[in-house]
């Protein structure tokens, strides 16, 4: 071989192909989601309305599902595959299985996506303008729910794939500590298995049979509670890959080492334990759930701040280590010694900074009675555009500039365009998110096509509604420009030829390594058991109480809006695919995982 | 495990923040008495609200001297009653339920905010000290017309607030020389007794009668008008009780025709 | 698998025992103060000032007693 390159693609060409497929799926979803995002921004703020306000909700559903389901999850299965193969230094066990779960995810999201997008045309009865939360009695087409099931089953199998790699590696290295990136993948997936039980139950037991007409009614509070059982931890499913990047990549691009491997493990264990028994904090204002359950959810949620606060220290200390090795000095002067011209570094650092701000609005969201102030207002939208919309999305875009050469073998098209892109995202999101938070405090609701009412106006103590709308629209346009630059770089890189002068496939070393971490941290069975016990404590009584009050299938209610005629073929598919897949594949897989 | 001293300091600081947040919220609950929406109400059948004694007729009721209950129904894409009217200086308990999908009942610019879930009844008690007019929005997506779902909450000056209802039954047509009767029923839905004056104005002439209506009662006042004095033709009348008004036309004819049903 | 040992821009190697993240402590101390201040502001000014607020029925009961 002539090449001197030591990039990922040189060591793992077959896996690089799967990761590329996952990344491109992710970017396709990002492009769609971005287009729907700017349409919404301009519509809501009233600057440019070319769709009917009734169609706004189809746009919003597409924006939400494509970005927080397809964009984030396709990207993270890519970097998780990188993390496991790189840190264990072995390829996947069975490449067909790997393509299998990727294919299942792709089929699933295509079905859901088509069901959503079909809402734009009257040519079919298919539609699913039910938003990302799909609260019953709003009803989507069965294809929407079926697609989600297949997608989630795909992620379950992806987890099985990574566990198989670890088991095989452990067989050959019985006395070694789990390498940190693999440890992060495994703990995240264990959390994900527990979390998705909620949405799997909601869809398979209730929503899908109901949308197919097999059962007449559902209990709206029950399906909503099951959704949030999954709906809060899913945000950690997006976030933990970003954290992984901050722990294993950011110290390296800063020129330093990870400050503490043991604390990184503690953080991921805390996420595994505490992510799920918190979902009821999304239901502080729901009737039918006792105040005591809400208080328990708040306590768990508040303690879930701990791993994030610890991360803030460890990650900043790792950056500072790099800065000092590069000659930085002083209390704050070292910040100047960081590689701010590197888009991978700057993107992640700005994402982290935005996440610090998001920590503040998240604390408010976690508070029980203060929720009266912010619940379902635009404040919440401001919050998650900082978390998933920046901490996660900007980190993913920044690390793309490192990963893309690794998995394509091609040099990045333009580092300066990349730098401009990440800065533009930061500026755009600052305008948009800040204005959203402020508007929320005035009572402006989220999820509405026209927050302009006939009978009253929102009153701003400082500034005006018009000024806030202008900032939101401006922010939306800057974000769209940023996306255009991102895709220019992705496409430009794709058009480049193979390079043999790429950075090696490496991640950060540690100052305090795994040898300092107590062995018990690697006891995944123990942490999984504790996580399950906490979930049982937090959810058994609320769920029993909800079923006791409203019944398993709820009161008599008409589905709304009814979206199907009769889809015999689909009904057949559901019976044989979803149920079959669940029974034969996932449950034993899951049991094995826990064991 | 080898944790740097600074990181230990931060760990303690982080725990202080967390405990501080929980303590603040607990102070709000216990110290200030801010209660959460909870499960204290029985479930209802959303499809049978028409037979429910609270929600069949969405309304405000007085239950104590300064205490009121508001029974509110949310449905695509409206709230009833609309507007909701309550007096300043009162304590109002809202009972809110949904006839169809999940909505919210959120009074813009205040901390009055609850999800409205079909089958469940959300209840919240609120003290209104000052008069004011608020918008009510649904802040949960409820279908294609979600953005049109709004209502009003009016908190009116205490001395301008009443729950008086006026209904008038009057003859439409009488023969000259006969007496025309106008029955004025004044319902007082408040608990205190209502002292007021029922005024009838017909053809520029005014008749008044003072009435006292006990709390929760209805008093009927009957005005008798001698049509001989009015003469043949149409005579407009207006009945006024406080701010309420009803009006109509009395036709005096020479001889009554059969089956002639003029409206008012 | 190879791990990073060198970085082109790196001038010196600082190992675990000789590294005190004092800059991190300074930054995160600032963050602590901002969080504490904003929390107090959000709870006591924005939230409690956003009246009327939902109170429990039990407050009246206590008043009667």
- Band (pLDDT 50/70/90 cuts) for residue A582 is very low
- B132–chain C Cβ distance below 8 A for any pair: no
A3 pLDDT higher than 90: no
Contact C27 A316 (CB under 8 A): yes
- Band (pLDDT 50/70/90 cuts) for residue B177 is confident
**Structural domain contains residue A3:** no
Both B62 and B145 in a single domain? yes
Q: Which two tokens stand for residue A404?
A: 């893309």
Mean pLDDT of chain A: 93
Return the pLDDT at A66: 98
Q: Which two tokens stand for residue A568?
A: 């015999």
A577 pLDDT higher than 60: no
Least Cα distance to A55 among B229, B143, C50 occurs for: B143
Question: Least CB-CB distance to C24: which of B6, B28, B124?
Answer: B6
Question: Least CB-CB distance to B127: which of C22, C52, C58?
Answer: C52
Contact A511 C15 (CB under 8 A): yes
> Which residue matches tokens 């979902």?
A279
Mean pLDDT check: name the lowest of A284-288, A581-585, B228-232, C7-11: A581-585
Q: How far is A356 from chain C (nearest CA, A)?
A: 8
Q: How far is A309 from chain C (nearest CA, A)?
A: 9
Which tops the pLDDT comparison, B113 or C1? B113
| Domain segments of chain C as ranges | 20-53
A424 pLDDT higher than 70: yes
A89 pLDDT higher than 80: yes
CB-facing half-sphere around the CA of A150: CA atoms within 13 A: 24
End-to-end CA distance of chain B: 91
CA distances from A102 to A70, A76, A297, A371 (A): 12, 12, 34, 39
Find the mean pLDDT for residues B208-233. Answer: 90
Return the pLDDT at B204: 84
B259 pLDDT higher than 90: no
**Structural domain contains residue B38:** no
Q: What is the DSSP letter of B257?
A: P
Q: How far is A89 from chain C (nearest CA, A)?
A: 6
Percent of chain A exceeding pLDDT 90 equals: 90
Q: Which two tokens stand for residue A77?
A: 């299965």
Contact A363 C54 (CB under 8 A): no
Cis bond leading into B77, ω under 30°?
Answer: yes
Contact C28 B111 (CB under 8 A): no
Mean pLDDT check: name the lowest of A79-83, A88-92, A317-321, B190-194: B190-194
The active-site residue, picked from A12, A75, A144, A236, is: A236
C61 pLDDT higher than 50: no
Residues on chain C touching A320 (C-beta within 8 angstroms): 21, 23-24
Find the mean pLDDT for residues A177-191. Answer: 98
Least Cα distance to A337 among A346, A328, A329 occurs for: A328
Concatenated DSSP letters for A548-578?
HHH-SS-S----BS---S--HHHHHHIIIII
SS3 A333: helix
Has A447 been annotated as catalytic?
A: yes
Return the pLDDT at A567: 41
Rounded to whole angstroms, how far apart are CA atoms B211 and B200? 13
Return the pLDDT at A206: 97
Q: Which two tokens stand for residue A132?
A: 């990302």
Return the pLDDT at B261: 53
pLDDT tens string C31-40: 999 999 999 9
Rounded to whole angstroms, how far apart are CA atoms A39 and A25? 22
Both B121 and B181 in a single domain? no
**Structural domain contains residue B26:** yes
pLDDT tens string A36-77: 999 999 999 999 999 999 999 999 999 999 999 999 999 999
- B94–chain A Cβ distance below 8 A for any pair: no
Which tops the pLDDT comparison, A3 or A411? A411
Counting every residue, how long is chain A?
A: 595
Counting every residue, how long is chain C?
A: 65
Return the pLDDT at B101: 95
Mean pLDDT of chain B: 92
Q: How far is B167 from chain A (nearest CA, A)?
A: 29
- B137–chain A Cβ distance below 8 A for any pair: yes
Return the pLDDT at B205: 87
Mean pLDDT of chain C: 79
**Structural domain contains residue B83:** yes
- Band (pLDDT 50/70/90 cuts) for residue C11 is confident
Contact B137 A443 (CB under 8 A): yes
- Band (pLDDT 50/70/90 cuts) for residue A557 is confident
Comparing alpha-carbon positions, the chain A residue that sits nearest to C42 is A364
Rounded to whole angstroms, how far apart are CA atoms A301 and A304? 5
Residues on chain B touching C38 (C-beta within 8 angstroms): none
**Structural domain contains residue A379:** yes
Helix, strand, coil percentages in chain C from 3-state DSSP, rounded to 5: 55, 10, 35
Q: Which two tokens stand for residue A567?
A: 């889809």
End-to-end CA distance of chain A: 43
Find the mean pLDDT for residues A346-371. Answer: 97
Question: Least CB-CB distance to B34: which of C22, C53, C60?
Answer: C53
β-sheet bridge partners, residue B188: B164
SS3 B62: strand
Least Cα distance to B252 among B243, B242, B241, B262 occurs for: B262
Q: Which two tokens stand for residue C31?
A: 């963050």
User: A401 near A249, Cβ under 8 Å?
Assistant: no
Find the mean pLDDT for residues A353-371. Answer: 96
A214 pLDDT higher than 50: yes
Both B153 and B179 in a single domain? no
A 121-150 residues inside an 8 A Cβ radius of C:
none
Residues on chain C touching A177 (C-beta within 8 angstroms): none
Exposed (0-12), middle (13-18) or buried (19+): which is B185, by Cβ within 10 Å?
Answer: middle
Has A446 been annotated as catalytic?
A: yes
Comparing alpha-carbon positions, the chain B residue that sits nearest to C61 is B33
- Band (pLDDT 50/70/90 cuts) for residue C7 is very low
Return the pLDDT at C9: 64
Rounded to whole angstroms, how far apart are CA atoms A128 and A120? 10
Find the mean pLDDT for residues B204-211. Answer: 91
Q: Count interface pairs B-C at CB distance under 8 A.
A: 72
Find the mean pLDDT for residues A469-486. Answer: 98
Residues on chain B touching C47 (C-beta within 8 angstroms): 111
CA distances from A438 to A45, A155, A199, A390 (A): 14, 37, 32, 18
Has A383 been annotated as catalytic?
A: yes
- Band (pLDDT 50/70/90 cuts) for residue B176 is confident
Both B51 and B120 in a single domain? yes
Taken in order A429, A432, A436, A437, the sign of the CA dihedral is positive
Find the mean pLDDT for residues A509-530. Answer: 95
Return the pLDDT at B178: 86
A29 pLDDT higher than 50: yes
Return the pLDDT at B1: 72
The active-site residue, picked from A224, A321, A385, A437, is: A385
Both B154 and B169 in a single domain? no
Return the pLDDT at A590: 43
Mean pLDDT check: name the lowest of A142-151, A496-505, B71-80, C3-12: C3-12
Domain that holds residue A379: 8-594
Count up the domains in chain A and report the number. Answer: 1
- Band (pLDDT 50/70/90 cuts) for residue B258 is low
Mean pLDDT check: name the lowest of B110-114, B132-136, B223-227: B223-227
State the CB neighbour count (10 A cutoff) for residue B129.
Answer: 11
Return the pLDDT at C65: 33
Mean pLDDT check: name the lowest of A351-355, B71-75, C53-57: C53-57
Strand (E) or helix (H) holding B167: strand B164-170
Both B134 and B178 in a single domain? no
Residues on chain C touching A313 (C-beta within 8 angstroms): 21, 24, 28
**Structural domain contains residue A519:** yes
- B134–chain C Cβ distance below 8 A for any pair: no
- Band (pLDDT 50/70/90 cuts) for residue A554 is confident
Residues on chain C touching B133 (C-beta within 8 angstroms): none
Q: Which two tokens stand for residue B199?
A: 């005024």
B 11-40 residues inside an 8 A Cβ radius of A:
11, 14-15, 17-18, 21-22, 24-25, 28-29, 34-39
Both B191 and B152 in a single domain? no
A1 pLDDT higher than 50: no
**Structural domain contains residue B108:** yes
State the CB neighbour count (10 A cutoff) for residue A209.
Answer: 19
A212 pLDDT higher than 70: yes
Residues on chain C touching B109 (C-beta within 8 angstroms): 50
Contact C19 A324 (CB under 8 A): yes
Find the mean pLDDT for residues B67-96. Answer: 96
- Band (pLDDT 50/70/90 cuts) for residue B179 is confident
B29 pLDDT higher than 70: yes
Comparing alpha-carbon positions, the chain C residue that sits nearest to B69 is C57
Cis bond leading into B83, ω under 30°?
Answer: yes
Find the mean pLDDT for residues C9-18. Answer: 80
Domain that holds residue B86: 46-160
Q: How far is A476 from chain C (nearest CA, A)?
A: 26
**How do B179-188 and B164-170 pair as beta strands?**
antiparallel
CATH number for the domain that contains residue A181: 1.20.210.10
Return the pLDDT at A311: 96
Both B112 and B199 in a single domain? no
Contact C55 B127 (CB under 8 A): yes
Q: Which of B143, B160, B177 delimits the end of a domain? A: B160
Count up the domains in chain B and report the number. Answer: 3
pLDDT tens string B134-174: 999 999 999 999 999 999 999 999 989 999 999 999 988 88
Concatenated DSSP letters for A164-202?
HHHHHHHHH-TTSPPPHHHHHHHHHHHHHHHHHHHHHHI
């Amino acid at each position: 071989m002539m090449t001197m390159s030591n990039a990922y693609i040189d060591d793992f060409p077959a896996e690089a192909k799967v990761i590329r497929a996952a990344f491109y799926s992710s970017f396709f979803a990002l492009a769609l989601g971005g287009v729907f995002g700017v349409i919404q921004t301009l519509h809501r703020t009233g600057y440019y309305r070319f769709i009917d306000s009734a169609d706004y909700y189809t746009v919003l559903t597409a924006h939400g599902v494509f970005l927080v389901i397809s964009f984030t999850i396709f990207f993270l299965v890519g970097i998780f595959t990188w993390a496991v193969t790189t840190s264990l230094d072995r390829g996947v066990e069975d490449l067909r299985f790997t393509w299998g779960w990727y294919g299942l995810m792709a089929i699933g999201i295509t079905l859901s996506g088509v069901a959503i997008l079909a809402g734009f045309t009257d040519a079919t009865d298919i539609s699913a303008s039910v938003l990302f939360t799909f609260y019953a009695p709003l009803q989507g087409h069965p294809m929407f729910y079926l697609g989600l099931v297949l997608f989630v089953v795909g992620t379950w199998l992806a987890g099985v794939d990574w566990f198989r790699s670890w088991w095989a590696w452990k067989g050959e290295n019985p006395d070694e500590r789990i390498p940190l990136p693999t440890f992060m993948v495994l703990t995240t997936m264990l959390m994900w298995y527990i979390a998705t039980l909620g949405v799997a139950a909601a869809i398979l037991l209730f929503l899908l049979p109901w949308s197919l007409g097999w059962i007449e009614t559902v209990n709206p509070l029950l399906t909503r509670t099951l959704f949030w059982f999954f709906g809060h931890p899913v945000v950690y499913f997006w976030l933990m890959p970003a954290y992984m990047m901050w722990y294993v990549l950011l110290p390296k691009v800063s020129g330093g080492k990870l400050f503490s491997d043991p604390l990184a493990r503690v953080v991921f264990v805390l996420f595994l334990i505490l992510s799920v028994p918190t979902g009821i904090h999304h239901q502080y204002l729901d009737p039918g759930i006792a105040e005591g359950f809400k208080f328990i959810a708040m306590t768990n949620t508040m303690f879930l701040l701990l791993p994030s606060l610890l991360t803030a220290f460890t990650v900043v200390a790792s950056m500072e280590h790099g800065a000092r090795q590069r000659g930085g000095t002083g209390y704050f002067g070292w910040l100047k010694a960081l590689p701010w011209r590197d888009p991978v570094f700057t993107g992640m650092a700005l994402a982290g900074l935005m996440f610090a701000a998001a920590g503040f609005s998240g604390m408010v969201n976690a508070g029980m009675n203060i929720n009266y102030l912010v619940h379902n207002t635009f404040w919440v939208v401001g919050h998650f555009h900082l978390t998933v919309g920046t901490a996660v999305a900007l980190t993913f875009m920044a690390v793309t500039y490192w990963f893309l050469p690794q998995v394509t073998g091609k040099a990045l098209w333009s580092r300066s365009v990349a730098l401009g892109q990440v800065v533009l995202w930061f500026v755009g999101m600052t305008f948009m998110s800040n204005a959203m938070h402020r508007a929320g405090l005035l009572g402006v609701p989220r999820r509405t096509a026209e927050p302009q009412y006939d009978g009253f106006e929102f009153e701003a103590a400082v500034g005006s509604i018009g000024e806030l709308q202008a900032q939101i629209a401006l922010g939306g346009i800057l974000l769209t420009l940023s996306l255009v630059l991102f895709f220019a770089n992705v496409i430009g890189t794709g058009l480049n030829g193979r390079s043999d002068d790429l950075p090696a496939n490496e991640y950060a070393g540690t100052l305090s390594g795994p040898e300092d971490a107590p062995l018990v941290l690697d006891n995944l069975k123990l942490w999984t058991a504790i996580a399950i016990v906490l979930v049982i404590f937090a959810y058994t009584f609320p769920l029993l109480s909800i079923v006791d009050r409203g019944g398993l299938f709820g009161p008599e209610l008409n589905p709304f809006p009814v979206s199907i005629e009769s889809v015999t073929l689909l009904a057949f598919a559901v019976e044989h695919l979803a149920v079959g897949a669940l029974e034969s594949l996932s449950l034993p897989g899951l049991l094995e995982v826990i064991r | 495990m080898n944790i740097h001293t600074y990181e230990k300091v931060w760990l303690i600081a982080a725990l202080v923040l967390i405990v501080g947040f929980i303590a603040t919220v607990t102070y709000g609950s216990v110290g200030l008495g801010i209660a959460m929406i909870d499960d204290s109400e029985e479930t209802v059948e959303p499809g049978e609200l028409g037979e429910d004694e609270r929600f069949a007729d969405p309304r405000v009721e007085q239950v104590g001297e300064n205490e009121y209950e508001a029974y509110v129904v949310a449905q695509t894409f409206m709230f009833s009653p609309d507007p909701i009217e309550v007096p300043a200086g009162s304590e109002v308990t809202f009972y809110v339920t949904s006839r169809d999908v999940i909505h919210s009942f959120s009074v813009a610019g205040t901390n009055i905010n609850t999800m409205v879930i079909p089958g469940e009844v959300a209840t919240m008690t609120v003290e209104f000290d000052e008069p004011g007019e608020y918008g009510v929005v649904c802040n949960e997506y409820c279908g294609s017309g979600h953005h049109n779902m709004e209502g009003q909450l009016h908190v009116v000056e205490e001395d301008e607030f009443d729950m008086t209802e006026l209904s008038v039954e009057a003859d439409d047509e009488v023969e000259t020389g006969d007496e025309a009767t106008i029955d004025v029923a004044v319902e007082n839905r408040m608990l205190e007794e209502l002292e007021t004056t029922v005024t009838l104005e017909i053809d520029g002439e005014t008749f008044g009668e003072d009435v006292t209506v006990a709390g929760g009662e209805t008093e009927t006042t009957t005005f008798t008008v001698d049509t001989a004095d009015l003469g043949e033709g149409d005579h407009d009348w207006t009945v006024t009780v406080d701010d309420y008004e009803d009006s109509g036309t009395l036709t005096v004819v020479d001889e009554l025709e059969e089956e002639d049903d003029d409206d008012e | 698998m190879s791990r990073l040992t060198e970085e082109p821009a790196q001038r010196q190697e600082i190992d675990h025992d000789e590294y005190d993240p004092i800059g991190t402590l300074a930054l995160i101390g600032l963050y602590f103060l901002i969080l504490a201040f904003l929390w107090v502001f959000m709870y006591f000014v924005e939230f409690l000032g956003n009246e009327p607020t939902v109170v429990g029925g039990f407050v009246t009961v206590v008043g009667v007693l």
